[in-house]
Amino acid sequence: MFLTYDGREITSYTWRTRLHEVADIAGVKKAVRPHILRHTGALLYIMNGGYPFSLQKILGYSDLSMTRKYIQMTNMDVKRQHNITSPLKGL
């Protein structure tokens, strides 16, 4: 999916190295790893109204149990999501 300047496939080592460089430039102090981005993307997908079953397909899992590990929400996340989608909201 990602290529080097001369058209070769980028290695996982190069991807991680560049990710760390960009995080440093951006002033990000927390750990930044490709897998953390995968988890963050999955959680943001759900928080923005995405469906767990479509996320399961996107992540490439055959059952929902592994997908659930990606979308562990805090109590505040659950409350915020409930306030957005509650069927009682319209009453």
Read off the pLDDT of residues 9-30 as tens digits, 9 standing for 90 and up. 888 888 889 899 999 999 998 8
Q: Which residue has the higher pLDDT, 73 or 42?
A: 42
CA 33 vs CA 22, 51, 69, 78: distances in Å: 11, 25, 17, 25
pTM: predicted TM-score of the whole model, two decimal places: 0.65
Residue ranges per domain, the chain?
A: 1-32, 34-90
Read off the pLDDT of residues 17-65 as tens digits, 9 standing for 90 and up. 989 999 999 999 888 888 888 888 988 898 888 888 999 999 999 988 8
| Residues 36 and 49: beta-carbon distance below 8 Å | no
